[in-house]
Amino acid sequence: MTEATHQRAFDLVLFGATGFTGRLVAEYLAERCREGLSLRWAMAGRDRAKLQAVQSSINTDVPILVGDAMDEGSMRLLAEQTRLVLTTVGPYAKYGSALVAACAAQGTDYCDLTGEVHWMRAMIDAHHETARRTGARIVHTCGYDSIPSDLGTLALFDHVERTHGKKLERITHYAGESRGGISGGTIASMLALMEISSRDRSLRKLLANPYALNPEPLPEGPDGPDPMGVRYDDGLGMWTGPFVMAAVNSRVVRRSNALLDFRYGKQFRYTELSSTGRGTTGLARASALTAGLGSFMVLLQNTRARSLLAKRVLPKPGEGPSRATIEQGFFTSRFVGHGDGITAKLTIRGKRDPGYGATARMISESALCLLQDDLPKQGGVLTPASAMGMALVPRLEKAGIRFEYE
């Protein structure tokens, strides 16, 4: 971001305010402003009447901007008017490319909630150099994917360096107890990814590469495929199974390491799993999770099954978990690090449904951190840890996401 961007009409434009997650973000930003936050912001989307309905439902009079994600001209206009765009318009591979191009070209900061690795790869290849030149910070994965993974890894590494003067050589992240739901927009993104990956072999190869988001040429690092089976973890004292988002989060953590000049080291290893508890209950849960995830993935590869699920069973775009599910939800992420003769632990505990209530806070605080905190001046297609670093942690803590070190 340059001095010139400070002259723009808005600090932040929320694009997608009419969607399920976008409304939650709008509500959170409006609440922060009522509490005294100084922010010149606007809500944007493709449908003025729907935006006006959101405006009155959250009791705010912020300006409204209208633009279609598929129209390059309107995305350029959006990017020119603001210092930062926060977008919840997804699936991003379908709707997001023109906006990223416009932000990179205009030096406009940007954050989103994508978990679509192939699209992030395309954005890195197309816009990283332009964004470096203009100073635009393009930050994908600012929600439950991949803030806990990326910031948890940085926070534990940083904590051990500061308190023990030592460097961790490997970190395992165990996604633990959680409660929440899923929205139609997330389902649409998953189905779209399954659709194209079932047709494209080179895409499947990219998605399987543990370093798919690293700067080119992709390295041969020490990490292998994401764990898929049931295992008992002695260090944690719990059963573990695969974690559905590991294929995204682990790639983001590895890109962070590379963008942070290999702060964790070139031989650093990162693994992500689900922890399912102790004893026979933990074993049964890990087995069910492993079998269930495997069957679901096989099912999603079938075109007919995908279309039936989308039409009859799964939530539609715009739909999502109830208010009670969002408010009563929570998540727990445990990190265990080893290296230099020590073992260190961090637990992140978040209030509210991880994918929506907590995610709305994570992306909003990421945007505010980019706008208001003293961060390194660097443009590019970045990650949460490389763009915002430890400055984001106190913001997350204030928003109900606690970091507890052992």
Ligand X SMILES: NC(=O)c1ccc[n+]([C@@H]2O[C@H](COP(=O)([O-])OP(=O)(O)OC[C@H]3O[C@@H](n4cnc5c(N)ncnc54)[C@H](OP(=O)(O)O)[C@@H]3O)[C@@H](O)[C@H]2O)c1
148 makes contact with ligand X (CB under 6 A): no
Instruction: Give the residue with the Cβ less far from ligand X, 176 or 339.
Output: 176
Binding mask 306-325 for ligand X (x = CB under 6 A): -----------xx-x-----
Element at 304 (helix H, strand E): helix 303-308
Q: Among residues 5, 18, 81, 149, which is the contact residue for ligand X, using CB under 6 A?
A: 18
Q: Using an 8 Å Cβ cutoff, are 164 and 134 in contact?
A: no
Collect all residues with Cβ–Cβ distance below 8 Å to 230 and sequence separation of at least 6. Answer: 239, 240, 241, 283, 286, 287, 290
Using the rule CB under 6 A, is 359 a contact of ligand X? yes
Q: Is 130 in the site for ligand X (CB under 6 A)?
A: no
Q: What residues contact residue 296 under an 8 Å CB cut-off, 6+ apart?
A: none
Q: Is 279 helix (H, G, I), strand (E, B) or coil?
A: helix
Binding ligand X (rule: CB under 6 A), the pick from 62, 65, 90, 393 is 90
Asked if 227 is part of the footprint of ligand X (rule: CB under 6 A), the reply reads no
Specify the DSSP class assigned to residue 88: -
Nearer of residues 117 and 160 to ligand X, judged by Cβ: 117
Q: Which of residues 236-265 bind ligand X (CB under 6 A)?
A: none
Q: Which residues pair with 129 in a beta bridge?
A: none
* Cβ distance to ligand X smaller for residue 188 or 369: 188
Closest by CA position to 231, among listed 217, 242, 219: 242
Nearer to ligand X, 119 or 211 (CB): 119
CB 351 within 8 A of CB 330: yes
Task: Give the max Cα distance, the chain.
Answer: 61
Stretch of residues binding ligand X (CB under 6 A), selected from 12-20, 99-107, 122-130, 166-174: 12-20
Q: Which of 5, 55, 82, 88 binds ligand X (CB under 6 A)?
A: 88
What is the token pair recorded at 184? 């139609």
In the complex, which residues of this chain contact ligand X (CB under 6 A)? 16, 18-22, 45-47, 50, 68-70, 88-92, 95, 113, 115, 143-145, 183-186, 189, 317-318, 320, 355-356, 359
